[in-house]
Structure 1
Amino acid sequence: MKLPDSAVDSTRPGLVMIQVDGLSRPELALALERGEMPFLKRLLRRESCKLHTMYSGLPAATPAVQAELFYGVRTAVPAFSFRSSGSGKLVRMYEPEAAEQVEARLEQEGEPLLAQGSAYSDNFTGGAAEAHFCPAALGWGPSIRAANPNATFLLLITNLYSLVRILVLLPVELVLALVDFGRGLAKGRNFLKELKFVPTRVAICILLRELCVIGGRIDINRGLPIIHINLLGYDEQSHRRGPASRFAHWTLKGIDDAIARLWRAAHSAPGRHYDVWIYSDHGQHHASSYHKLQGYSVKEAVDLVLAGLETRSGPAPGGAPETVETHRVRLLGGGRFQRLFSVFQSGPDSEELQVASLGPVAFVYPPGDLGATQRVFLASELVRAHGVPVAITRDQKGALRAWTATGEFALPRDTASLFGRSHPFVAELPDDLARLCNHPEAGELVLLGWHAGAKPITFAEENGSHAGATPQETTAFALLPSDTLLPDRPRDYLRPLDLREAALQHLGRRSFAPRNKRIQVVEKPSRQLRIVTYNVHSCIGMDGKLSARRIARVIARTQPDIVALQELDVGRSRSGHENQAQVIAHYLTMEHHFHPVIHVENEQYGDAILSHLPMRLVKAACLPPVPGPGSRREPRGAVWVAVEVMGTEIQVINTHLGLWPGERLRQVQELLGRNWLGHPDCQGPVILCGDFNATPGSAVCRMLRARLDDAQIELASHRPRNTFSSNIPAARIDHIFLGGGVEVTAIDTPQSQLARLASDHRPLVATLKLPVAMPDTSAMSSTSGAPAQEPGSKVAS
């Protein structure tokens, strides 16, 4: 395709952001419960992902959310449709000229998030070097035309699954669209509009989605730093049939499969280490059309009031209001598509009165300036006589007043009364509503389709709407890896600005003091401790990538108190001269003790113990090799630390034994002798762990079980789990042995894709219960001066 690769260090992080347009968190929860999105359910269950609530802000519309995410600008547009202050024309944000004008202003106000990356099916390009199927950059025409036939053929072959899906699902979706068309006609809907929705549904739900997946996978393999993909199918169906409709939820199954393919491509990328973030920009609310309820449009209602009429009998039924159902198919690009699916043109308006009413937010632009008395009369009459739920005026100083059928409100002071004190985002609504109403391109009157206690309406011809302030419209979600660093904020939920800052931090373009540490405090019962033993294979994964950061992320997700690591490089050329023990400890906000078993000039290789609890090094030494011929084998060693828990000490020994049975027996005899486990200081609770290179039935393990308990065997109703190799675990050679009354309450070996890739071993995690009466050993307190701590009670800086 003649597309350049991203020439970067393969250890650099990358980010794939997938937007599920219009899917609220409540509808997501329903889809997960019904099994409509099995891959997302798997991410929550097995891949250490966390589901966050996200507040969309106002207006709850894609252009406003993407402007805040891509450029850090809140309320960049007042709604999806408004009057441009430059041209004086009504514009809609799917129009290329309108999108370009707004984005040109955004580029002057904030750093573009998608710089050097790509964007698919977005309102704005976000500063992306390559944008496809966006209003300002339609289709793939230039890339396809630039490619030779062989490249195009290879493109089809390497994306055969997507091609087959298109060929199979297009006729299926066409049949469903025709069924939907018939149902629409049976309910008395407009024939031409129903007919237009047939190709729209097929193109958006299948063709555009598959093209975005193909493009996203290409960009992942090229190593672009950030890729943003907007999947539109659910939002399109929700507008047409409602957010809870079967047709809307049917599209979620295809979206879930698309996410799965992008996620797998990201986690097998040859270049970067990609995170995949899945989020929605807003939700949708089932709404009734104002035109159907009143028999005339909101513009005609404004005409009546301005003419001084007070009844509804005046206007003849007018034409149906606008809809957004057919514009998105035009994103496939090309002049033919534009002409075939032409939508509302925004040429010079001949009428003096202008009303932008594409959704539950409408703006009234009356001829000339209205006086204060006229504005009040217009707002109150629209509410009283014409069924508009909320009408808001502003004076010359920006003060806002709102009228509803229940009374008058001063804004932003009375925002909680207007939208309900139980609204999940009541703390931020006043500021966002003021921004919306005082936007320079908002009308003299702002009309809203909902207030607390009212049934939602929309000023467009649709069954699902968004841009307003209902909880359903404003409650989006973000599904992120559990260890994603998020900025400090005075609330539990996110908003697009938070997601933006987290993305810039992840890409190394921003630095902030995160609210969440790498290791989160986990509330555990008294005297419980979590320990991890992990052979990290010099932080070289099964995919050949070198990444200490990836190892640290695997560990962080287990929420440990103590970490025993084997096969660490320090200063070695093969690992970029990095101090892996220090890097991992820093990432986990832990202290560490490292012992090199190999030390040649400035290069070291060995084992380490890390903890956020107070600890002191007792001993670190090599274990004896096997004498005689063939003894030139890799040196082995052990590290012994005393960890203080609640004023007493636990002895923790981490080791890595040899590959040959004879040397392992000699090394275990040494560990059981008076220099280690038999030492007078090694009393009370004791933990011996590491990579023993020995299976449970070996002589080595039998010797150790004669003195200590094997954690995996001692746990009742637990089937011991293998840890080597990580992709297909076939052997149990990593062990945790316990003594001195320590009990095991849980065992885990992480099954996530990250854990399968990061090393050739999987980590072994044990949750331990310490004995009730532990011997009081004050040696550590006198040595380190550190206070006693409960496991998991504090994260060391």
Structure 2
Amino acid sequence: MARVTPASGRPETLTPESRSPARRPRTLAIRPGLVLLVLLLDWAALALTIAVLPGISADAGWDVLLAAVLLGLVAAPLRPLLAALAGTIGWAGVVCGWLLGQALLVFAALALTPGIDVDGFGSAFLASWIYSAVVSAGLWAVTAGDGTAVLGHLLRTTRGARGTATATGTAPGVVMIQIDGLSAPVLEWSLRSGNLPTLGRWIRSGSHRAAEWHVGLPATTPASQAGLLHGAAQVPAFRWYEKDTGRLVVTNHPKDSAFVEARLSDGRGLLADGGVSVGNVFSGDAPTSRLTMSTASAGRRDAGRAREISAYVVDPYGLTRSLVLTTAEMVKEMYQARRQRVRGMEPRVRRAAAYVALRGVTNVLLRDLNMTLVAEHMMRGAPAVYCDFVDYDEIAHHAGPTRPESLASLEGIDRVLGTLELVAAGTPRPYRFVVLSDHGQSQGATFRQRYGMTLEELVRDLMDGGRDGAAAPRVPAGPSDGSGEQWGRVGTLLAEVGEEPTVTGRVGRGVLRRHERRVPAAAADGRPEVVVLASGNLGTIYFPRRPGRLTAEEIEALYPRLLSGLARHPGIGFVLVRSRSGAAVVLGADGRRELGGGPAPDGAVDGDPVEGDDPLARFGPHAAADLRRYDALPHVADIVVNSRVDAAGAEVAAFEELVGCHGGLGGWQGRAVLVHPADWTVSGDLDGAGAVHRQLVTWLNEAGLRDAAP
């Protein structure tokens, strides 16, 4: 996306001027019509519940109406007390609050209502779930597209935070929302089509501008967040092998992400000065982290974390609503997957049962929880909040980045932005909003669909007859269907639960351990001959029994067919290796290019000697510079392969079973976005996540939100 210059106009809600007292009541007002509608829904839901449960009876419909009114009156003072009690107990209390909190409120309301008989708490327990589910479904149906009900829920659950606000002064804070996987072309189309009303209004009104930034290699969330949050470039892929320790690092495992962050952090990350990290891979050195992978297994109990989540789950409009919509999301996924099969849409991949459940959890339950946590810390006056919403990325992996269901998920995130904008009208300090992505996505039929084999199978075929044979044991690379990336969000929540010394904690730890055993690390005394890993259309090949990074000459001596076979395969665009001279060499089917080799008399491209056809010709003007930077990262594989890209430069062939992918070069995966307040100036080229980090730090400094101390 070229830089978008908005139409002139006065900023609407994201400047200090927009926070005038005269405007705040109109923004936060709950309409009387909605209050009446909610009461009628409560009445109908309670009547239906009483009708279907044999343990509860009512003399008349007016008794049911009175019970609905009493339920609202009883819940108002007791729900915050239940949430506070649950948070004090810890995660076990949160679970008990989820199971019993609404049941206690329903039982109290029914018991106090004359004309209604309840056999006991068991009947009230069942009634609470039926009632909450019906109310949630009804509210969703009648308030679709209206965030007022959600806003009311957020204001109720964050009410207690206002008395403990940490804001100092009136300097605007910054809320940074990451839309995982959103490319510049997809954002531009969504804005033009009018499908993102909140973002579109910000840009059209002149309050915000949109810019494109170049991601580089690898185009993965861990690598980008290492740059965005810590300004560091030390992540070579989504998963990689470390020869010196024999460790397979998988960045969406909480212990591995903590291990990586210990290397990245200098204590001065993006969120170091009182910031809050929500739903990220790394913390950015935030003193407060929620649902963040690198801090989920920190080995300490965080009462505040349990209290904040308990406030969400005890409210019937909170967790119950999310569970109802999670179920609906799962049903929708099954329908959409079948629709692709029936219509014969290509490319497509199998959308497994595990993905159906994970889509429901990540795209509804965790999205709502993330939004609640962001609102909580806005109410507390946090100077900076950074939150990653993964909805679009997860669906686009399996459906395709421009398919209808993927674009619809962007509309859900846009509604979150609109709700947080309204929340900001009642916070102790004003807030500015920044929206950015970590990478884009590229589409295409997978490598296995095109050629009938995986990358690992191809490598083993080409190794056959080498000095050590091809039948040596290997390290399993984990699921190839993309569920490994999705599971990380659920695993983070389980890791946080697992910190509790309770039955709940033991269950969480057990589930997490069983999953992580699917991707075991190789022991140093039993190393496999080869490890083949995939990050989208980026493949990495390690020879763990050979110390250091092997040179092209050493690989050819061990496996004479391997490098030439990979470079000439129609599904592979180029191969990156290190030569004996120390230079990085890119091999293609009909040529080679030496990176950083200096001027050459003939066949030079940008100072790089090229023999035959340039293997990077189809991968854009940044490809050579991206590979030079990548080659200097720690733990780069002995052989790095990037899939083919079609003649138009758009479609790639993922080495995982994903129709939309990211990780390597080619297509839209390297074209990320940054939407920022219009009065904030972008200085310099946004080339790489590190450059975006420096720009964000500059803005925080200019806003007075960073400690001046080095």
TM-score range, shorter chain: 0.5 to 0.7
CA–CA separation in structure 2 for the residues paired with 1:491 and 1:354: 31
Letter in 2 for 1:30: W
1:381 aligns with 2:568: no
CA drift at 1:320: 9.7
Letter in 2 for 1:435: R
- The number of residue pairs the alignment matches comes to 499
Q: 2:247 aligns with which of 73, 77, 89?
A: 89
**Residues 120 and 134 in structure 1, CA contact (< 8 A), matched pair in contact too:** yes
Number of the residue aligned with 2:628: 434
Describe the shift of the 1:155–1:382 C-alpha distance in structure 2 as closer, same or farther (beyond 3 A).
Answer: closer
Residue by residue over 1:48-87, the C-alpha shift from the partner in whole angstroms, topping out at 9 and shown as x without a partner, is 21111121232111112111121212x3211111113553
Q: 1:394 aligns with which of 536, 559, 578?
A: 578
Number of the residue aligned with 1:443: 637
Residue by residue over 1:414-459, the C-alpha shift from the partner in whole angstroms, topping out at 9 and shown as x without a partner, is 5895444893xx2x54333212123221111111124573741111
CA–CA separation in structure 1 for the residues paired with 2:551 and 2:174: 52
Instruction: Specify the SS of the correspondent of 1:457.
Output: coil
1:28 aligns with 2:187: yes
Residue by residue over 1:208-247, the C-alpha shift from the partner in whole angstroms, topping out at 9 and shown as x without a partner, is 0000000000100101111011000100011111111122
Number of the residue aligned with 1:487: 683
Number of the residue aligned with 1:200: 358
CA–CA separation in structure 2 for the residues paired with 1:489 and 1:385: 36
Number of the residue aligned with 2:492: 331
Residue by residue over 1:649-693, the C-alpha shift from the partner in whole angstroms, topping out at 9 and shown as x without a partner, is xxxxxxxxxxxxxxxxxxxxxxxxxxxxxxxxxxxxxxxxxxxxx
Letter in 2 for 1:329: V
Residue by residue over 1:576-611, the C-alpha shift from the partner in whole angstroms, topping out at 9 and shown as x without a partner, is xxxxxxxxxxxxxxxxxxxxxxxxxxxxxxxxxxxx
Instruction: Specify the SS of the correspondent of 1:323.
Output: coil
Describe the shift of the 1:170–1:111 C-alpha distance in structure 2 as closer, same or farther (beyond 3 A).
Answer: closer
Written as runs of structure 1 = structure 2, the 5 A alignment for 1:500-649 is: 500-508=696-704
Residue by residue over 1:234-277, the C-alpha shift from the partner in whole angstroms, topping out at 9 and shown as x without a partner, is 0001111111112211211111111111222234312x232110
Number of the residue aligned with 2:62: none
CA drift at 1:5: 3.5
**Residues 52 and 493 in structure 1, CA contact (< 8 A), matched pair in contact too:** no
Instruction: Specify the SS of the correspondent of 1:122.
Output: coil
CA–CA separation in structure 1 for the residues paired with 2:349 and 2:219: 30
Number of the residue aligned with 1:358: 535
Describe the shift of the 1:486–1:305 C-alpha distance in structure 2 as closer, same or farther (beyond 3 A).
Answer: same
Whose helix fraction is larger, Structure 1's or Structure 2's? 2
Letter in 2 for 1:447: V
Instruction: Specify the SS of the correspondent of 1:17.
Output: strand
Q: 2:419 aligns with which of 254, 261, 265?
A: 261
Number of the residue aligned with 2:127: none
Instruction: Specify the SS of the correspondent of 2:585.
Output: strand
Letter in 2 for 1:177: E
CA drift at 1:337: 5.6
Q: 2:176 aligns with which of 17, 20, 28?
A: 17
Q: 1:78 aligns with which of 236, 240, 251?
A: 236
Number of the residue aligned with 1:403: 587
**Residues 485 and 502 in structure 1, CA contact (< 8 A), matched pair in contact too:** no
Between Structure 1 and Structure 2, whose CA radius of gyration is higher?
Answer: 1
**Residues 5 and 224 in structure 1, CA contact (< 8 A), matched pair in contact too:** no
**Residues 379 and 392 in structure 1, CA contact (< 8 A), matched pair in contact too:** no
Letter in 1 for 2:437: S
**Residues 441 and 660 in structure 2, CA contact (< 8 A), matched pair in contact too:** yes
CA drift at 1:386: 6.8
CA–CA separation in structure 2 for the residues paired with 1:410 and 1:511: 44
1:222 aligns with 2:380: yes
CA drift at 1:133: 1.7
Instruction: Specify the SS of the correspondent of 2:255.
Output: helix
Task: Give the unaligned 5+ runs of structure 1.
Answer: 513-797
Letter in 1 for 2:490: V
Residue by residue over 1:716-769, the C-alpha shift from the partner in whole angstroms, topping out at 9 and shown as x without a partner, is xxxxxxxxxxxxxxxxxxxxxxxxxxxxxxxxxxxxxxxxxxxxxxxxxxxxxx
CA drift at 1:6: 4.8
Instruction: Specify the SS of the correspondent of 2:289.
Output: strand
Number of the residue aligned with 2:439: 282
CA–CA separation in structure 2 for the residues paired with 1:397 and 1:33: 51
1:211 aligns with 2:372: no
CA–CA separation in structure 2 for the residues paired with 1:435 and 1:447: 16
Number of the residue aligned with 2:288: 130
**Residues 213 and 688 in structure 2, CA contact (< 8 A), matched pair in contact too:** no
CA drift at 1:287: 2.6
Letter in 2 for 1:306: M
CA–CA separation in structure 1 for the residues paired with 2:460 and 2:306: 55
- Give the superposed CA RMSD: 3.9
Describe the shift of the 1:320–1:461 C-alpha distance in structure 2 as closer, same or farther (beyond 3 A).
Answer: farther
CA–CA separation in structure 2 for the residues paired with 1:497 and 1:451: 29
CA–CA separation in structure 1 for the residues paired with 2:619 and 2:305: 56
1:103 aligns with 2:264: no
Number of the residue aligned with 1:169: 325
Letter in 2 for 1:438: A
Describe the shift of the 1:265–1:19 C-alpha distance in structure 2 as closer, same or farther (beyond 3 A).
Answer: same
**Residues 283 and 475 in structure 1, CA contact (< 8 A), matched pair in contact too:** yes
CA–CA separation in structure 2 for the residues paired with 1:152 and 1:473: 34
1:299 aligns with 2:483: no
- Larger relative CO (CA 8 A, sep 6+): 1 or 2? 2
**Residues 215 and 687 in structure 2, CA contact (< 8 A), matched pair in contact too:** no
CA–CA separation in structure 2 for the residues paired with 1:371 and 1:61: 26
Instruction: Specify the SS of the correspondent of 2:586.
Output: strand
Residue by residue over 1:92-119, the C-alpha shift from the partner in whole angstroms, topping out at 9 and shown as x without a partner, is 2101122111110111385443442211
CA–CA separation in structure 1 for the residues paired with 2:508 and 2:351: 17
Number of the residue aligned with 2:137: none
CA–CA separation in structure 2 for the residues paired with 1:365 and 1:490: 32
CA drift at 1:502: 3.2
Whose strand fraction is larger, Structure 1's or Structure 2's? 1
CA–CA separation in structure 2 for the residues paired with 1:286 and 1:11: 45
Instruction: Specify the SS of the correspondent of 1:484.
Output: coil
CA–CA separation in structure 2 for the residues paired with 1:385 and 1:491: 31
Describe the shift of the 1:208–1:126 C-alpha distance in structure 2 as closer, same or farther (beyond 3 A).
Answer: same
CA–CA separation in structure 2 for the residues paired with 1:7 and 1:144: 17
CA–CA separation in structure 1 for the residues paired with 2:289 and 2:477: 36
Number of the residue aligned with 2:31: none
